[in-house]
Chain A
Amino acid sequence: MNQEDKEKDYFESPIHLEYQYTAGAATTRFLNKVKEGKLVGQECPKCKAVYVPPRGSCPRDGIATNREVELVDQGCIESFTIVHIPIPGNPIVPPYVCAMIRLDGANISFLHLVDGIKLTDIRIGMRVKAVWKPKSEWRHSLENIKWFIPTDEPDVDVTKLRFKPE
């Protein structure tokens, strides 16, 4: 409780609104595949950049990413942070590693957890692979991947990951 809250000089008037969220058509295509344990990116027809998870567009060219590209569930850590504070309403216990995961063949990264390694050993460029939850728990979410763990492969030079159109 904040010091300034000691005197009860305010009242609470909660706002409760309900929404029917939708993921979007491109995201829905992606999530349907995630439910089957597959990571399917979408490619820009012009610059050939591969987006995962896709939002349905390539902002480089301002056009839709219609072609689907199945990717492997491994890649590297483009960068990361070790989070030491709890997330409100989230069961993950700190400290934990929140990393920008760049899948092989993808041209953007996404945030996910990394485990199976001492926190002091984690590095930018480290190769990782996905650890999936049991198939019975799969739903329409990237949370089907429990976390990523390091592989034995040599590190990647992340400066070479930057996308350049051909």
Chain B
Amino acid sequence: MKKIAIVGYAQNKILASAGALNEVELIMPVVHKIFNNLGISQKEIDFTCSGSCDYLQGAAFAFVEGLSAIQTNPPIKESHVEMDAAWALYESMLKIQMGDADTALIYGFGKSSPGDLDSIISLQMDPYYISPLWPDRISLAALQAQVLLNNNIINKDEIMHAVIESRNNGLNNLNALIQTSITEDEYQKDLVLSSPLRALDCPPISDGASAMIIASEDKAFNFSSNPIWIKGIDHRIETSNLGARNLSSSPSIKSAMKSLDIENTAFDIAEIHTQFSHEYPFLRKLLNLENVPINLSGGPLVGNVMMAAGLDAIGKVYEQLSTNSYKRGLAHATSGPCLQHNMLVSLEKNS
């Protein structure tokens, strides 16, 4: 199997509302930023793949609009997933592994501010039985939080500390939307939205875009003297029927760990796509990350651009490995209600 490395990552500053920026105006700055960082242009890219979701901004073909941000003369090899751009990365890696490309540009973008995300996410459920009940995203997450609490897999203290820690970490992240810390007292006084989840346990509505460039072993050093290798990537989905799921565990994550053979790997750093605070202690235990610095970026609780946040987790691990002494990192991306679909990416420096 061909070795593939991340050679660049860029992220727009996350905004509560990108206001009047259209898809082109959202995507172009971050793509130019990553090109400028590497001193390259679209001409050096063999394959381009994006992730976005039309329902967020309520217009069909957001990715078609967004493509106008990219140089497409001559026409390019390009594709799109209606998913988080972490899966666009996955698709791009297949293209490199099969020999169809040596380099790929991946970008994800999302604007959650124009619509009502609570209602929109209801449309991810069974359209005959569940969606007509309009379950909102926070209540769905709260179901899992309650199961985890009742089974003593996590406790309320751990949930609170996940929020406090994320906020503190976010202070060092220039792109974070929320850059304020909170105290235990403030947390305890916060409004409960859907028991047991408080407003502070939920990610902020966020707009933004991110981009990443990967390259085969043959090309990686043309772009970077310090490429970060993707040692393994795996993703799995679980049943859509919440009543049939064991919400106190994650068979998809467990099988991904097994397939990547990372159950006993000592990671130095991790970024996990924990949109709700209770997912943080849950996954920290499940992923054997108890003594590992997690979400130094602050994670989704300080900025959660739908359809880019999973790619961001991978990008943030890349940044940490590139700039610090850490050697091995784990990234996690998720999709769907209650961590239905999970991806794990293990990254390594100087392998």
Q: Do chains A and B touch in the complex (CB under 8 A)?
A: yes
Interface string of B25-38 (1 = CB under 8 A from A): 10010011000000
Q: Is B58 an interface residue (CB 8 A)?
A: yes
- The total number of A-B Cβ pairs within 8 Å is 79
Task: Specify which chain B residues have a CB less than 8 angstroms from the CB of A26 in the assembled complex.
Answer: 22, 24-25
Q: Is the CB of A59 within 8 A of B25?
A: no
Interface string of A97-124 (1 = CB under 8 A from B): 0000000000000000000000000000
- Bound: A25/B22 CA distance, A: 7
- Interface residue SS majority, chain B: loop
Q: Is the CB of B67 within 8 A of A59?
A: yes
- Bound: A18/B115 CA distance, A: 6
Q: Given that A15-B123, A59-B71, A59-B73 are contacting pairs, would A22 and B115 also be in contact in the complex, using a CB cutoff of 8 Å?
A: no
Task: Specify which chain B residues have a CB less than 8 angstroms from the CB of A23 in the assembled complex.
Answer: 20, 22
Q: Is the CB of B71 within 8 A of A24?
A: no
Q: Is B68 an interface residue (CB 8 A)?
A: yes
Interface string of A1-34 (1 = CB under 8 A from B): 0000000000001010111111111111000000
Task: Specify which chain A residues have a CB less than 8 angstroms from the CB of B65 in the assembled complex.
Answer: 55
Closest Cβ–Cβ distance, residue A62 to chain B (whole Å): 3
- Bound: A59/B78 CA distance, A: 14
Number of contacting residues on B, CB 8 A?
A: 32
Enumerate A60-104 residues with CB–CB distance to B below 8 Å: 60-64
Q: Is B42 an interface residue (CB 8 A)?
A: yes
Enumerate B37-72 residues with CB–CB distance to A below 8 Å: 41-42, 55, 57-59, 65, 67-72
Q: Is the CB of B57 within 8 A of A25?
A: no
Task: Specify which chain A residues have a CB less than 8 angstroms from the CB of B24 in the assembled complex.
Answer: 24, 26, 55-57
- For B58, give its contact among A13, A17, A25, A60 (CB under 8 Å): A17
Q: Is the CB of B114 within 8 A of A21?
A: yes
- For B119, give its contact among A17, A22, A59 (CB under 8 Å): A17
Q: Is the CB of B20 within 8 A of A19?
A: no
Task: Specify which chain B residues have a CB less than 8 angstroms from the CB of A55 in the assembled complex.
Answer: 22, 24, 65, 68
- Bound: A53/B39 CA distance, A: 31
Task: Specify which chain B residues have a CB less than 8 angstroms from the CB of A59 in the assembled complex.
Answer: 67-68, 70-73
Q: Which residues of B contact A (CB under 8 A)?
A: 19-25, 28, 31-32, 41-42, 55, 57-59, 65, 67-73, 113-116, 119-120, 123, 132
Q: Which residues of A contact B (CB under 8 A)?
A: 13, 15, 17-28, 55-57, 59-64
> Could you list 25 examples of A-B contacts with CB < 8 Å?
A13-B132, A17-B116, A17-B119, A17-B120, A18-B116, A19-B57, A19-B59, A20-B113, A22-B20, A25-B25, A56-B22, A56-B24, A56-B28, A56-B68, A57-B69, A60-B71, A60-B73, A62-B28, A62-B41, A62-B42, A62-B69, A62-B70, A62-B72, A63-B32, A63-B71
For the complex with contacts A17-B58, A19-B114, A25-B21, 12 further pairs of A-B residues with Cβ separation under 8 Å are A15-B123, A17-B116, A19-B115, A22-B20, A22-B114, A26-B22, A26-B25, A59-B72, A61-B71, A61-B73, A62-B69, A63-B71
